Structure 1
């Protein structure tokens, strides 16, 4: 009996792609959107768009209420102490850059910033460039054979000069939940700031910021079944107070004259200019949709699909799985087959998977690879999608071999 998704019909994009002969298996890059989100997006524009926080007229007040309601929903989703600890950015990438520039004055030459070997470029390059600007040392935590950050070596590398630890919760290449509790404890023992890349992790399960205990947590709307153009930065209240303002413009200030300015604290002080109003409001609708689902049923569905994916890859000769993925995705290479050639043949058969270095070029280089294929799953995928993928994979491998 095929494993079906009871939520598939809620995603018009998946149904449209299926009608076009496309099988979408790239949700780790961006997820398809529920009808509820599309309704909210159209509702904002069709009902009368207006800017937020500034106007006293009714359309502006209505937009502001809807915009700020999403901030409250995110605070609840992440169990943050309050909505003032949620900052909206234009992407997760912008959130990391906000942190790198906003915290720059906290560091002195010789201080150490610690990341891991598996980081996405968004959580590598801002710290790399900050280290170059300020004469800091960028320390890279190695991985073990399972794709987890090596805790024994981490305990040796996180030391008295460590001022910041920035690590992923769930790898976008290896699909492994990282041992955050141990890593964060090592950093806190050195009074270092802690940043968690939750772009992949936030999609799978609910994560409690007060229990997790990191200083900052970054995630992205478009992977969380919301619209693109919105990043989310959670910060602990005392950590947010350490940030310096990094972008300047309308709304983020209390007062200015020609020579000086006084800026607002978080969150509005870090949301200069007109924010992505429609997308933020629509993200709220996605959160409402997700909150209405049976979390246990979603987790069980994703786990069963993931097992089918791993079993199917293991059953085929010459396939090397990268790491030991825990949930939602699998990256792999095939012996004597170039990943780009394989991706091309899959594309010709209507299979949408990701190929290349997955914005983690140093990780792939450390594995001796130029690239890999990645299959990633959303709650709307079903066993039929995997059947079509494996049929296309077998045909492609037969041609290439």
Structure 2
């Protein structure tokens, strides 16, 4: 495990910018990773380097050829990172925008009167796209209800709602409200058991930073991530599409190659920073395993990250030293239950008798960065059924420490007045 290897957590933290201090606030603990993870120092350097280069791809000059090579290298790196032996990767405006494009493509090509299926636990990035384009394309939308107590949607829940005329499906890999990870492969199989040719698009935005990505094992057609939530930066998203989804008519320029998805000249630096992210996972895998194969090292890194983040969330919930855990603080409710093996580096809570906004402010005043989730268009689908107006989201990553968790617990313990 990461924290049992001497010096490894310090080596990890040294690779990220602003680990302990905010350039605006000063010293702080960063538990707002679901809103955007810390950025690798290598990404910062790469971004600056490519921001200065004036050349574009597709020209007959040395610089242009080099940029194309960098993009191709990044796509190959992504194939290893996400274990995609077919299909293609491309860059767009954001993870949300890319989900809209893939879902739109699947919906407008589906037979009139067929169905789109999704779940109530999904982020609006996929739910909004599916409902909007189902309506425009003349399709029925089927909502699979998640379990309020666990914050999960299961393959059995999808299976119970499936019919052969479902032609488009959406799945969220992890909820940014409950922090629970879904079994994408099992859900996809439940869908294909009833509708083998259904187009399945996955929102992997929240999941990407917390463990392995394994597209070959999912049997899906689209997968989107937001790089700023997996140690890169803002300003772009990454999508993977299957060959069969690419074969559908989709938005592109007249007479352009039929397999193209990108519009305009993309930022080579976006691609290059994803190579930095993959290199980081590769490095981490070498610290926690003796694997010589790159994919095997990345898988080892994912397992180590998941195990350590589970250790941190368990510490948060069960307590450490003489500090009680969240489950033992009578004034605190843990969403999704205190003992939930599906949790991925995130704990959402309510402090009884205190508005969540006040709790977030009080924590921030003590240098502990968290975030409020409200029963609005982002999180109402999860909070409203629980009778909650809001909650406090505490989201961590593998560069956080047990000491930081202890400081959070000490602060929350005192919030009884």
| TM-score normalised per structure 2 | 0.85
Show the 5 A alignment for 1:22-171.
22-46=28-52, 48-52=53-57, 54-82=58-86, 85-144=88-147, 145-171=149-175
CA contact (8 A) 2:108 2:133 kept: no
How far apart are the structure 1 equivalents of 2:237 and 2:80?
17
The gaps in structure 2 that reach 5 residues or longer are 286-300, 319-324
CA contact (8 A) 1:88 1:230 kept: yes
Q: What residue number does 2:187 align with?
A: 183
Show the 5 A alignment for 1:188-267.
188-189=192-193, 190-191=195-196, 192-245=198-251, 248=252, 253=253, 261-266=254-259
Equivalent residue in structure 2 for 1:334, among 351, 354, 367: 351
CA contact (8 A) 2:154 2:187 kept: no
Closer, same or farther in 2 for the Cα pair 1:374/1:243, shift >3 Å? farther
- Deviation readout 1:332-361 (Å, 9 max, x if unpaired): 112222211211222222211110238232
Q: What residue number does 1:379 align with?
A: 398
Equivalent residue in structure 1 for 2:389, among 362, 370, 377: 370
Is the aligned partner of 1:275 residue 2:289?
Answer: no
Give secondary structure in 2 for the equivalent of 1:333: strand
Deviates more, 1:130-139 or 1:14-23: 14-23
Give secondary structure in 1 for the equivalent of 2:9: coil
How far apart are the structure 2 equivalents of 1:344 and 1:108?
50
* Structure of higher RCO (CA pairs closer than 8 Å, 6+ residues apart): 1
Closer, same or farther in 2 for the Cα pair 1:391/1:166, shift >3 Å? same
Q: What residue number does 1:306 align with?
A: 313
CA contact (8 A) 1:103 1:243 kept: no
Q: CA deviation at 1:93?
A: 0.5
CA contact (8 A) 1:228 1:279 kept: no
How far apart are the structure 1 equivalents of 2:370 and 2:230?
18
Equivalent residue in structure 2 for 1:345, among 340, 362, 383: 362
Equivalent residue in structure 1 for 2:371, among 350, 354, 358: 354
CA contact (8 A) 2:209 2:397 kept: no
Q: What residue number does 1:286 align with?
A: 277
Give secondary structure in 2 for the equivalent of 1:263: coil
Deviates more, 1:290-299 or 1:374-383: 290-299
How far apart are the structure 2 equivalents of 1:62 and 1:370?
52
- Deviation readout 1:79-127 (Å, 9 max, x if unpaired): 1124x51121121101111113322332344322111111111111111
Deviates more, 1:153-162 or 1:91-100: 153-162
Q: What residue number does 2:298 align with?
A: none
The number of residues matched between the two structures is 379
- Deviation readout 1:207-247 (Å, 9 max, x if unpaired): 221121111111111111011122121122122212412xx
CA contact (8 A) 1:170 1:178 kept: yes
Q: CA deviation at 1:49?
A: 3.6
Q: CA deviation at 1:61?
A: 1.8
Give secondary structure in 2 for the equivalent of 1:264: coil
How far apart are the structure 2 equivalents of 1:39 and 1:150?
41
Give secondary structure in 1 for the equivalent of 2:258: coil
Equivalent residue in structure 1 for 2:333, among 320, 327, 330: 320
How far apart are the structure 2 equivalents of 1:162 and 1:304?
40
Structure 1 segments of 4 or more deviating over 4 A?
A: none
